Amino acid sequence: MRVGIVGYGNLGKSVEQLVKLQPDMELSAIFSRRSKLDTDTRVLPVAEFGQYKDEIDVAILCLGSATDIPEQAPEFAKYVPTVDTYDNHRDIPRHRKAMDEVAREHNTVSIVSTGWDPGMFSLNRAMAEAILPNAQQHTFWGPGLSQGHSDAVRRIEGVAKGVQYTIPAPDALDRARRGETEGLDGKSAHKRVVYIVPEDGADTAAIEHTIRTMPDYFVGYEVEVNFIDDATFVREHSGMPHGGHVITTGGVGENHQLVEYTLELSSNPDFTGAVAVAYARAAARLAEDGKSGAFTVLEVPPYLLSPVALDDLIARDV
């Protein structure tokens, strides 16, 4: 299947390398606003995307969640099946509805909000809660760098460079594993730590205020904002680790059951990209089967993600 990549930041670069490793995929082009990229893949103007729809079986949208995906993704879905990594949890129902309307109108497929959370964590939350009676469930993010939150921070006026780390409280993890969930919620169980390199002359007080009052991303959390120089940023904040836990407890009577799904990721973009690539395979297959509309990871049969034939998967894994 022929894959197009839209956007060439950290995620786009990871997806490019991951597609090259797939036995059933080939890269058609990278679409970017920039005319020159450090890549051997064909680079085309993103404004001309529609002209190349017959050369693409699926497009992976490697765009930011803060503004790019909500504003731009519906346009790409008019032409070919798409996959995105939209990660604003509260807004996913609206995003799915918007993409569904476009995809149905133009007879394409859009798989939205892939990645690890939303994505792999979403699947585990649904499965574990369905299986365990009286389920108590908590999701912990980090310690690690959040691409979506970091992208939102970098868009603030006066920010030259920025990253945001999410750090879970160790005592909260232990309480969740014991099923002691009273008063435990996502915002109280995490801290958000931000490192900013301000532009020369930037109003750092205004930057910090914008961060602390940003809805959906920082409001309600304990937030720490640090302003550092460029050399410190390059030395200490160039990596992109992340991970987290979905912890579900439940059972009947005194029988305590624990289901825990854990990710330890040395590269957030590589793993997020790997999930998007797998769902790109599924999107192309759904479209080939005549389906249309928008889908979340909860709605896609798992076998569609694999390059292995279904009969072989059943013989090997069931």
Q: Known binder of ligand: residue 11?
A: yes
- Residue type at 74? P
Q: Known binder of ligand: residue 239?
A: no
Dig out the tokens for 251 from the structure: 């059972």
Q: Known binder of ligand: residue 168?
A: no
pTM of the model: 0.85
Whether the predicted pLDDT of 107 surpasses 90? yes
Q: Known binder of ligand: residue 124?
A: no
Q: What mean pLDDT, rounded, does the chain reach? A: 95
Query: pLDDT at position 181, please?
Result: 80
Q: Known binder of ligand: residue 154?
A: no
Distance of CA 239 to the CA centre of its chain: 17
- Residue type at 173? L
Q: Known binder of ligand: residue 113?
A: no
Q: How far apart are CA 235 and CA 158, in angstroms?
A: 21
Dihedrals φ, ψ of 155, to 5°? -85, -5
Q: Known binder of ligand: residue 213?
A: no
269-294 as b/e: b if 16+ CB within 10 A: bbbbbbbbbbbbbbbbbbbeeeebbb
Q: pLDDT tens for residues 235-293?
A: 999 888 899 999 999 999 889 999 999 999 999 899 999 999 999 999 999 999 999 99
Q: Known binder of ligand: residue 61?
A: no
Q: Within 13 Å of residue 218, how many CA atoms lie on the same side as its CB?
A: 21
Q: Known binder of ligand: residue 192?
A: yes
205 and 225 Cβ atoms separated by less than 8 Å: no
Dihedrals φ, ψ of 189, to 5°? -95, 0
Q: Known binder of ligand: residue 262?
A: no
92 and 73 Cβ atoms separated by less than 8 Å: no
Dihedrals φ, ψ of 221, to 5°? -100, 155
Q: Known binder of ligand: residue 212?
A: no
Q: Known binder of ligand: residue 253?
A: no
Q: Known binder of ligand: residue 86?
A: yes
Return the minimum-mean-pLDDT range out of 43-57, 77-91, 180-194, 303-317: 180-194
Q: Known binder of ligand: residue 177?
A: no
Q: pLDDT tens for residues 4-45?
A: 999 999 999 999 999 999 999 999 999 999 989 999 999 999
Query: pLDDT at position 292, please?
Result: 98
Q: Known binder of ligand: residue 63?
A: yes
What strands lie across the sheet with 242-250, from one edge to the other? Answer: 136-141, 242-250, 257-265
Q: Known binder of ligand: residue 116?
A: yes
Q: Known binder of ligand: residue 42?
A: no
Q: How far apart are CA 24 and CA 11, in angstroms?
A: 21
- For residue 22, how many other CB atoms are within 10 A of its CB? 16
Q: Known binder of ligand: residue 104?
A: no
